[in-house]
Amino acid sequence: MTAAFSRLWAEIAPIGRDSAGGYLRYALSEPELILRDWFRNQADRRDMTVTDDGNGNLFAWWGRQWGPGTVLTGSHFDSVPHGGGYDGPLGIVSAFLAVDRLRAAGVTPARPIAVAAFVEEEGGRFGLPCLGSRLLTGAIDPDSAAALCDAEGVTFGEALGDRPAGALPALASRVGAVVELHIEQGRALAVPVGVASAIWPHGRWRLEFTGDGDHAGTTRMADRHDPMLTFADTVLAANEEARLAGALATIARVSVQPNATNAIPSLVRAWLDARAADTATMERLVDTIVKRAVNRAARDGTQVVVEPESASPEVAFDTTLAARLSALLGDAPILPTGAGHDAGVLSAHVPTAMLFVRNPTGISHSPAEHASDSDCAAGVEALAEVLKELAGPS
Ligand code: GLV
Ligand code: MN
Ligand code: MN
């Protein structure tokens, strides 16, 4: 299986790769469209019919489309800007190889298996993570999704070429189980394969710091109303408060106007990503960060406005299913994660599980993200076992 994995992985490895080895695979951008063609091609090679749910999500079918008890697997192709190649695509490549594995073993599943490629999981282009699964489950209405804009002003509706179709009403009655395989994204897994227990609640907030744009050479220090200072102090406050709360806060994306070396900025726009083990802790953390930003703004003579952009509630995966899969995989460890996934969105509607593949360094959302081919092959074997268990005769 390791050789089969290496071969298939090599087919997609160059697509959207930058000169530093990271990936620029924004949803519905050229590299992602190439990957979607690759997906159709892989499905064709396996006599699997591909359907599109009208939201940008693709499904390759082994068995009757949306037949009762469908087992949904797969993941996403899009990456964070200059991120790793495993986050997402590993789940899709592994799903096709798991189908091969089952077929080679002569398994004929009693229920349909669908390999999914969800659109815009990272929210890297249109700002809202898990957009495809949110649309499929009705967690966002099609008009709001269609209006989401990328950095160039292109809307999701325009990129998709249509108004999204929205929720699939039959989802909960048609899909019996979801299982997404994913690279583990911390240093929490010491063996090749684990099973997920939970996803920490997380969210994104847009922070707009405004002040008085002015000349860097003629404005006395005492006369300045510089939003960069308020922003900088807020970055430090977020880090400190997250540490105190045993939670996570990150400000990693920022845009400045006018972004000139010799001009005091008039606007600093930044995005806060906050996560915690429970929603109350996360909300308290964000409140504290915002209070500190507002206090600092009063000192700096600037203003700060905070807008929530996305909320992903706490997910507890089906404990019975997780225990069953762990036992099936020889007591695989069961572990939580701070990373978001389409499986988390789907879990509100369908019994859902995730398999994690060991990440030796724990690095993710970075070009250094990596899993060994042999661990990935172990992931394929585990996924094949799980699909057989969930889709096979019972
Ligand atoms: C997605 O990977 C996220 O956790 O932000
Ligand atoms: Mn990710
Ligand atoms: Mn992912």
> How many other C-beta atoms lie within 10 A of the C-beta of residue 361?
11
Task: Tell me which ligand sits closest to the C-alpha of residue 366.
Answer: 2
pTM: 0.95
Closest CA to 199 of 356, 71, 366: 356
Euclidean distance between CA atoms 381 and 383, whole angstroms: 5
How high is the pLDDT of residue 351? Answer: 97
Task: Tell me which ligand sits closest to the C-alpha of residue 180.
Answer: 3
State if residue 129 touches ligand 1 by the CB under 6 angstroms criterion.
yes
- Distance from the CA of 256 to the center of ligand 3, in angstroms? 29
- Distance from the CA of 188 to the center of ligand 3, in angstroms? 16
Strand 175-183, strand 70-76: pairing: parallel
Strand partners, 254: 270
State if residue 192 touches ligand 1 by the CB under 6 angstroms criterion.
no
How would DSSP label each residue in 230-275? HHHHHHHHHHHHHHHHT-EEEEEEEEEES--TTEE-SEEEEEEEEE
How high is the pLDDT of residue 213? Answer: 98
Residue type, 331: D
Helices (H), 18-175: 30-45, 89-104, 131-137, 142-147, 156-160, 171-174
Which parts of the chain sit beneath pLDDT 50? none
Residue nearest to atom 1 of ligand 1 (CA): 340
Secondary structure E strands in the chain: 49-52, 58-62, 70-76, 113-118, 175-183, 193-199, 202-210, 214-215, 248-257, 263-264, 267-275, 303-312, 315-316, 334-337, 352-357
Residue 180 in contact with residue 341, Cβ under 8 Å?
Answer: yes
Euclidean distance between CA atoms 100 and 8, whole angstroms: 12
Residue with tokens 């249109």: 126
Closest CA to 366 of 84, 41, 119, 53: 84
140: CB partners within 8 A, 6+ apart: 128, 131, 134
How high is the pLDDT of residue 394? Answer: 53
Euclidean distance between CA atoms 155 and 343, whole angstroms: 25
Euclidean distance between CA atoms 239 and 360, whole angstroms: 26
Report the chain's C-alpha Rg in angstroms. 22
**For residue 273, which atom of ligand 1 is closest to its CA?**
5
Phi first, then psi, for residue 191 (nearest 5°) are -120, 165
Closest CA to 338 of 138, 198, 243: 198
- Distance from the CA of 186 to the center of ligand 1, in angstroms? 12
Residue 369 in contact with residue 206, Cβ under 8 Å?
Answer: no
For 47, the 3-state DSSP assignment is coil
- Distance from the CA of 261 to the center of ligand 2, in angstroms? 33
Residue type, 8: L
Task: Tell me which ligand sits closest to the C-alpha of residue 253.
Answer: 1
